[in-house]
């Protein structure tokens, strides 16, 4: 084929001289792509010029590589700042991609003729500095909201990572949407025929920009520009004259530009000047027989007759930056707008289908949908497909469209396949209309910036990737170690499992110490390349990934765990998103169990945050709110549980109790000063006097009171609540004794009573507690001795069940304690008023025993003794 074509090139246009052919397209338009291929096949130009950064010229050969699989994107980034970057995505159905491939197949040179990325990235940097200055005038409050709004994968705004430790020091860099920002900043990803609206760097200044397609659609009486474009361009069959569609479109665009000029896209003029210069160079080299593939919007400008000097003048004094370029894998999801990609297409999967389907696109599409639904075990027969096709076609007729489009087929799918439900439809949208396609890039492509960023950080932190496994102990109080820990946590978030947290080898549980097991496997490099879609710096990518994970998280506990990881990895920008998701989930999750599960991780994060000096104000609020909801919902949720549910709820109660202690300390520490924050949790939770609380703790006690006294609550939880209150000194022993008596009285079913005892003193530590806490032992003892003989046999097996869970040593000590009684424990005098034990030795009664002891020992009985003996005997 190739030989034939190249041979014909010269003759085919011998006399025509109709070149150059300027083919105005819509980026990512399958119809445009097909038309471009037809036009190229018909005209066979000697060179193909494409709107794109000329730095990519060197990489273009890779497009024909066997390993190259679209969607892929050209990525340009400033050499020293990987965060400063822009993407030019190509899908299989992108006209540019088709043109590149056609040229490579036919051995025709390809040139990218847009303004070099070296200029455009530098220009953005300058604009951004301007904005920053503006913004500083307005006050610093502005940037936070914007960076939140921009939260999208690859919004590589975080130029500060590593380079400027501490980050966030450059509000402009982080906040300027579309500044150096990832995909959104790509000027050529427009859905419309390239108005090159840089995604609203500053909405107020850019409102005047024109969407040419929208104007044309409105003129034609369509309310949806996309639909108009599809009807007019994408769905039109092949015409005899391959160039006719381009001529018509160029004419329309010419009319538009006459009215609107540059339409608010000021940089377009510069870009078009550059393109014209490149066209002149091409004309010199190849003669007039070359083709230009560019956004339709530019066509009139490229046709314009201008002087070289005028064009040069426009290009004078452009800023320049050193830029590297490479291919990166892209995904359909990235092409879709839904992923936060400011400019893209709604339905890459549908377009890919339109482009790939040789004929009968609707029938093929609906068959595909049916296949997907069948895989998901939905009953869809061929009869369904037939009916859906008929409905889609009738709908198209009724709506006056030339062919059923995506909306008609979707309506048909909903009515025929899905029983009118939108649930399976969202699956179809996700899998087919958007699609899961992931591009591939040959290994020969230059390294992705994320890898470079990682290498740079590894060097600066002196943390070499080694294949040999090794342990790493980090002291988070040291700046370097803290940075290392953040890096490892960020990489884990990105799925790059270089370091895994290990149990601390020194047995230290201090929060300032971390142990890692490091091992660099070769496939981690692949992981880094894959993670490249999330951003160009480790920080940016981790932030984007965390945000995406938060939105997709299934359970509330997952989100709190993620929040914890965000803090560990120091991702302040991701935190607001995670917090928002968390707040939403917490508000909607009615299951107290979930809330209770989520609370400890959240409270733990608060502590870590303190150690690492991150601001956790927002987190504290969410945690307090979560605790509040648990308090409100816990008592009703405990009613009417079965044994298993009760056991599970008991662990929740314990977890919440621990968390409340921590949370309260945290709030207290915040109020009094940072010094006390380092105190370990477990001691304070048990010993902190209730006077130190500021609200949360008393409310928790109220909840525990409710749990402890409500009859509908299972025994195990009631016992647990009473025990916790007793531990906290919130319940007098008398009251606890009364509650215990109540719970263990004859009227209570035996199983319930056993559960209560289990909750009260059960669990691993219950035995030790009884050993060490005279009061508790006293309570149990008092109750046990008061059990009537008839009931005792009923209670015995239940008690055995609880006490047999203790370790043998504990059991024996307990037994000895009970046998020895209080006399054996002089230290126990402190335990005032324990029922069953006197405050101190009762001298009188002790003396009464003496004569008998003497008698037994064979000692002489003194007269007083015999009196006493007589008294005792009497």
Partner 1 sequence: MTVLDNETVRPAAEVLRAHAEDAFADELAALAAADDRPRPARWRLSPWAVATYLLGGTLPDGTVITPKYVGPRRIVEVAVTTLATDRALLLLGVPGTAKTWVSEHLAAAVSGDSTLLVQGTAGTPEEAIRYGWNYAQLLAHGPSRDALVPSPVMRAMAEGMTARVEELTRIPADVQDTLITILSEKTLPIPELGQEVQAVRGFNLIATANDRDRGVNELSSALRRRFNTVVLPLPESVDAEVDIVARRVDQLGRSLDLPPGPDGIDEIRRVVTVFRELRDGITADGRTKVKSPSGTLSTAEAISVVTGGLALAAHFGDGVLRAGDIAAGILGAVVRDPAADRVIWKEYLEAVVRERDGWKDFYRACREVSG
Return the residue matching tokens 């048909």: 412
Stretch that binds partner 1, among 127-135, 389-397, 493-501, 802-810 (CB under 8 A): 389-397
Binding partner 1 (rule: CB under 8 A), the pick from 55, 144, 206, 387 is: 387
- Whichever of 585 and 607 has its CB closer to partner 1, that residue is 585
DSSP sequence for 562-625: HHHHHHHTT-TTHHHHHHHHHHHHHHH---HHHHHHHHHHHHHHHHHHHHTT---HHHHHHHHH
For residue 79, give both structure tokens. Answer: 């050499």
Binding partner 1 (rule: CB under 8 A), the pick from 239, 381, 672, 702 is: 381
Sign, Cα dihedral of 509, 626, 730, 775:
negative
The answer to the question of residue 346 lying near partner 1 (CB under 8 A) is no
3-state secondary structure of 670: helix
**Alpha carbons 762 and 397: distance in angstroms, whole number:** 74
For residue 772, give both structure tokens. Answer: 């060490």
Nearest to 216 by CA among 235, 232, 238, 239: 232
Beta strand extents in 375-522 (DSSP E only): 470-475, 499-501, 513-518
**Alpha carbons 780 and 274: distance in angstroms, whole number:** 91
Return the residue matching tokens 């690859």: 154
- Whichever of 118 and 413 has its CB closer to partner 1, that residue is 413
- Whichever of 406 and 777 has its CB closer to partner 1, that residue is 406
Binding partner 1 (rule: CB under 8 A), the pick from 1, 3, 208, 379 is: 379
Number of residues binding to partner 1, judged by CB under 8 A: 26
Residues 6 or more apart whose CB falls under 8 angstroms from that of 96 comprise 25, 27, 50, 51, 52, 90, 293
The answer to the question of residue 398 lying near partner 1 (CB under 8 A) is yes
The answer to the question of residue 415 lying near partner 1 (CB under 8 A) is yes
User: Which H or E run includes 72?
Assistant: strand 72-78
CB of 405 to partner 1, least distance (A): 13
x/- contact string, 589-608, with partner 1 (CB under 8 A)?
-x------------------
CB of 579 to partner 1, least distance (A): 15
Helix axes 523-531, 449-460, angle to 10 degrees: 120
- Whichever of 401 and 517 has its CB closer to partner 1, that residue is 401
Nearest to 301 by CA among 259, 265, 263, 254: 254
- Whichever of 393 and 521 has its CB closer to partner 1, that residue is 393
Range 678-737, binding partner 1 (CB under 8 A): none
CB of 210 to partner 1, least distance (A): 28
Asked if 524 and 497 count as a contact pair (C-beta separation under 8 A), the reply is yes
Return the residue matching tokens 């009196």: 867
- Whichever of 399 and 527 has its CB closer to partner 1, that residue is 399
The answer to the question of residue 416 lying near partner 1 (CB under 8 A) is yes
The answer to the question of residue 509 lying near partner 1 (CB under 8 A) is no
How many other CB atoms are found less than 10 A from the CB of residue 771?
A: 18
The answer to the question of residue 383 lying near partner 1 (CB under 8 A) is yes
DSSP sequence for 15-67: TT----EEEEE-TT-HHHHHHHHHHHHHH--SEEEESS-GGGGGGGGGGG-TT
Stretch that binds partner 1, among 189-197, 585-593, 730-738, 840-848 (CB under 8 A): 585-593
Binding partner 1 (rule: CB under 8 A), the pick from 422, 675, 843, 860 is: 422
Asked if 546 and 578 count as a contact pair (C-beta separation under 8 A), the reply is yes
The answer to the question of residue 407 lying near partner 1 (CB under 8 A) is yes
- Whichever of 328 and 586 has its CB closer to partner 1, that residue is 586
Stretch that binds partner 1, among 143-151, 316-324, 379-387, 712-720 (CB under 8 A): 379-387
CB of 544 to partner 1, least distance (A): 25
Binding partner 1 (rule: CB under 8 A), the pick from 80, 376, 584, 683 is: 584
Binding partner 1 (rule: CB under 8 A), the pick from 4, 554, 588, 830 is: 588
3-state secondary structure of 161: coil
For residue 656, give both structure tokens. Answer: 């919440």
Binding partner 1 (rule: CB under 8 A), the pick from 215, 275, 296, 395 is: 395
Exposed/middle/buried for 47, CB within 10 Å: 0-12, 13-18, 19+?
buried
CB of 40 to partner 1, least distance (A): 39
CB of 418 to partner 1, least distance (A): 7
Stretch that binds partner 1, among 252-260, 385-393, 798-806, 808-816 (CB under 8 A): 385-393
Establish how many alpha carbons lie within 13 A of residue 392's alpha carbon, considering only the half-sphere containing its beta carbon.
Answer: 27
CB of 715 to partner 1, least distance (A): 24
User: Which H or E run includes 282?
Assistant: helix 266-286
CB of 393 to partner 1, least distance (A): 9
Binding partner 1 (rule: CB under 8 A), the pick from 238, 421, 680, 682 is: 421
Stretch that binds partner 1, among 320-328, 350-358, 412-420, 702-710 (CB under 8 A): 412-420
Q: Which residues bind partner 1 (CB under 8 A)?
A: 379, 381, 383-384, 387, 390-391, 394-395, 398-399, 407, 411-412, 414-416, 418-422, 584, 587-588, 590
């Amino acid at each position: 084929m190739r030989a034939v074509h190249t041979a014909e090139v010269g003759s085919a246009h011998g006399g025509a001289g109709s070149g150059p052919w300027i083919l105005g397209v819509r980026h990512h338009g399958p119809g445009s792509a097909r038309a471009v291929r037809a036009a190229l096949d018909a005209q066979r130009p000697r060179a193909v010029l494409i709107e794109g950064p000329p730095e990519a010229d060197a990489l273009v050969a890779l497009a024909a590589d066997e390993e190259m699989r679209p969607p892929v994107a050209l990525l340009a980034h400033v050499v020293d700042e990987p965060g400063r970057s822009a993407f030019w995505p190509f899908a299989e159905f992108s006209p540019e991609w088709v043109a590149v491939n056609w040229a490579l197949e036919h051995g025709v040179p390809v040139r990218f003729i847009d303004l070099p990325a070296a200029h455009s990235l530098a220009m953005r940097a300058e604009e951004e500095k301007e904005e920053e200055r503006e913004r500083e005038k307005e006050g610093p409050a502005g940037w936070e909201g914007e960076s939140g709004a921009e939260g999208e994968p690859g919004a590589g705004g975080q130029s500060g990572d590593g380079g400027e430790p501490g980050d966030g020091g450059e509000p402009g860099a982080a906040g300027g949407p579309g500044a150096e920002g990832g995909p959104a900043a790509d000027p050529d990803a427009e859905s419309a025929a390239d108005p090159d609206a840089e995604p609203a760097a500053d909405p107020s200044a850019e409102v005047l920009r024109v969407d040419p397609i929208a104007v044309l659609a409105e003129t034609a009486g369509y309310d949806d520009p996309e639909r108009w474009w599809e009807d007019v361009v994408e769905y039109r069959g092949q015409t005899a004259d391959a160039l006719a569609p381009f001529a018509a479109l160029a004419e329309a665009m010419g009319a538009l530009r006459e009215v609107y000029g540059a339409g608010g896209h000021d940089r377009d003029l510069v870009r078009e000047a550059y393109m014209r210069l490149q066209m002149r160079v091409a004309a010199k080299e190849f003669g007039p027989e070359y083709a230009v593939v560019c956004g339709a919007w530019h066509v009139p400008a490229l046709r314009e007759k201008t002087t070289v000097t005028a064009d040069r003048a426009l290009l004078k004094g452009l800023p320049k930056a050193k830029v590297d370029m490479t291919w990166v894998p892209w995904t359909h999801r990235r092409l879709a707008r839904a992923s936060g990609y400011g400019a893209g297409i709604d339905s890459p999967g549908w377009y890919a289908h339109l482009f790939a389907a040789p004929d009968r696109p609707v029938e093929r599409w609906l068959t595909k949908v049916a296949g997907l639904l069948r895989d998901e075990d939905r009953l869809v027969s061929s009869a369904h497909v037939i009916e859906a096709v008929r409905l889609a076609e009738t709908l198209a007729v009724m709506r006056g469209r030339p062919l059923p489009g995506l909306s008609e087929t979707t309506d048909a799918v909903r009515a025929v396949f899905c029983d009118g439900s939108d649930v399976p439809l969202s699956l179809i949208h996700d899998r087919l209309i958007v699609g899961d396609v992931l591009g591939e890039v040959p290994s020969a492509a230059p390294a992705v910036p994320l890898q470079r960023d990682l290498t740079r950080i590894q060097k600066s932190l002196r943390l070499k990737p080694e294949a040999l496994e090794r342990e790493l102990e980090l002291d988070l109080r040291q700046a370097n170690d803290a940075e290392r820990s953040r890096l490892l946590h960020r990489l884990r978030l990105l799925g790059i499992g270089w370091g895994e947290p290990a149990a601390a080898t020194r047995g230290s549980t201090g929060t300032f110490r971390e142990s890692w097991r490091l091992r660099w496997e070769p496939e981690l490099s692949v992981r880094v390349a894959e993670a490249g879609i999330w951003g160009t710096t480790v920080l940016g990518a981790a932030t984007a990934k965390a945000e995406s994970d938060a939105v997709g998280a299934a359970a509330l506990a997952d989100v709190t765990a993620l929040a914890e990881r965000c803090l560990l990895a120091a991702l302040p920008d991701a935190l607001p998103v995670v917090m928002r998701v968390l707040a939403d989930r917490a508000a909607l999750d009615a299951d107290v169990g979930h809330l209770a599960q989520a609370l400890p991780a959240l409270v733990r994060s608060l502590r870590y945050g303190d150690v690492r000096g991150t601001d956790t104000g927002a987190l504290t609020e969410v945690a307090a709110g979560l605790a509040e909801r648990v308090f409100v919902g816990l008592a009703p949720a405990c009613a009417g549980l079965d044994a298993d549910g009760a056991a599970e709820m008991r662990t929740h109660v314990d977890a919440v109790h621990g968390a409340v202690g921590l949370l309260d300390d945290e709030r207290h520490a915040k109020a009094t000063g940072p010094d006390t924050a380092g105190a370990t949790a477990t001691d304070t939770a048990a010993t902190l006097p209730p006077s130190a609380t500021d609200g949360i703790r008393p409310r928790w006690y109220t909840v525990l009171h409710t749990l402890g006294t409500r009859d509908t609550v299972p025994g195990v939880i009631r016992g647990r609540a009473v025990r916790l209150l007793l531990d906290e000194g919130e319940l007098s022993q008398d009251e606890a004794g009364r509650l215990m008596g109540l719970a263990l009285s004859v009227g209570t079913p035996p199983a319930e009573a056993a559960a209560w005892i289990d909750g009260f003193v059960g669990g691993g530590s219950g035995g030790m507690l009884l050993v060490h806490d005279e009061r508790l032992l006293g309570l149990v003892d008092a109750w046990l001795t008061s059990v009537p003989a008839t009931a005792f046999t009923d209670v015995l097996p239940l008690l055995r069940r609880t006490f047999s869970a203790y370790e043998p040593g504990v059991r024996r000590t307990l037994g000895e304690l009970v046998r020895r009684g209080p006399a054996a424990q002089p230290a126990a005098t402190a335990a005032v008023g324990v029922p069953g034990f006197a405050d101190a030795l009762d001298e009188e009664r002790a003396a009464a025993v003496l004569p008998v002891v003497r008698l037994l020992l064979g000692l002489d009985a003194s007269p007083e003794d015999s009196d006493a003996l007589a008294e005792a005997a009497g």
